[in-house]
Amino acid sequence: MAPVTIKTIAERLNLHPSTVSRALGGHPNVRPKTREKVLALANELDYQPNILAKSLKERHTRTIGVIVPEIRHYFFSCAISAIDNRARENGYAMILCQSAEQLRNEVMNVSVLEQQRVAGMIVSISQETISSDHLKSYQRRGGILVLFDRVSADLVASKVINDNLEGAYMATEHLIARGYRRIAHLAGPKDLPLTQEREKGYRKAMQDFNQPVIDDWVVYGGMHERDGMEDMDTLLELKEAPDAIFTVNDPVAVGAYESIKAHGLEVGTDIGVVGFSNNPTTEIITPSMTTVEQYPGDMGKRAIECLIEQIRARRNEEEYAPETVVVKTEIIERASTCRTA
Q: Are strands 330-332 and 291-293 parallel, antiparallel or unpaired?
A: antiparallel
Q: What is the pLDDT of residue 206?
A: 98
- The average confidence (pLDDT) of the chain is 92
Report whether pLDDT(56) > 50: no
- Which SS3 state, helix, strand or coil, does residue 74 take? helix
Calculate helix-pair angle for 32-44, 6-13, nearest 10 degrees: 120
**Mean of pLDDT values over 255-259:** 98
CA 275 – CA 298 distance, rounded (Å): 19
Nearest to 250 by CA among 281, 204, 221, 213: 281
Report whether pLDDT(51) > 70: no
Q: Give one DSSP letter per residue of 165-187, joined into a string.
A: HHHHHHHHHHHHHTT--SEEEEE
Into which CATH architecture does domain 164-294+330-337 fall?
A: 3-Layer(aba) Sandwich (3.40)
Exposed/middle/buried for residue 87 (C-beta within 10 Å: 0-12, 13-18, 19+): buried
Number of alpha helices (DSSP H) and beta strands (DSSP E) in the chain = 13, 12
Rank 28-32, 56-60, 72-76, 197-201 by mean pLDDT and report only the highest: 197-201
CA 297 – CA 86 distance, rounded (Å): 11
CA 252 – CA 246 distance, rounded (Å): 10
- pLDDT tier for residue 55 given thresholds of 50, 70 and 90: low
Exposed/middle/buried for residue 339 (C-beta within 10 Å: 0-12, 13-18, 19+): middle
Calculate helix-pair angle for 17-24, 6-13, nearest 10 degrees: 110
Q: Are strands 244-247 and 272-274 parallel, antiparallel or unpaired?
A: parallel
Which CATH superfamily, name and number, covers 6-48?
lambda repressor-like DNA-binding domains (1.10.260.40)
Q: What letter would DSSP give residue 290?
A: B
Calculate helix-pair angle for 17-24, 32-44, nearest 10 degrees: 90
When the candidates are 3.40.50.2300, 3.40.190.80, 3.40.50.12280, 3.40.50.10580, the CATH number that belongs to 53-160+295-327 is 3.40.50.2300
**Mean of pLDDT values over 294-307:** 97
Radius of gyration from C-alpha coordinates of the chain: 23
Q: pTM of the predicted model, to two decimals?
A: 0.80
Give per-residue pLDDT as tens, 306-330: 999 999 998 888 889 999 999 999 9
CA 25 – CA 49 distance, rounded (Å): 10
Element housing 77 (H / E): helix 74-89
Question: What are the φ/ψ torsions at residue 63 (nearest 5 degrees)?
Answer: -125, 150
Percent of the chain with pLDDT over 90: 79
Q: What is the pLDDT of residue 175?
A: 98
CA 89 – CA 300 distance, rounded (Å): 14
Q: What is the pLDDT of residue 44?
A: 87
- pLDDT tier for residue 341 given thresholds of 50, 70 and 90: low
- pLDDT tier for residue 339 given thresholds of 50, 70 and 90: confident
* Portions of the chain given CATH number 3.40.50.2300: 53-160+295-327, 164-294+330-337
Element housing 310 (H / E): helix 296-315
**Mean of pLDDT values over 11-15:** 91
**Mean of pLDDT values over 137-165:** 95
Q: Which of 27-41, 98-112, 171-185, 244-258 has the lowest mean pLDDT?
A: 27-41
Q: What is the pLDDT of residue 110?
A: 97
CA 193 – CA 326 distance, rounded (Å): 14
Q: Which of 25-34, 52-61, 222-231 has the lowest mean pLDDT?
A: 52-61
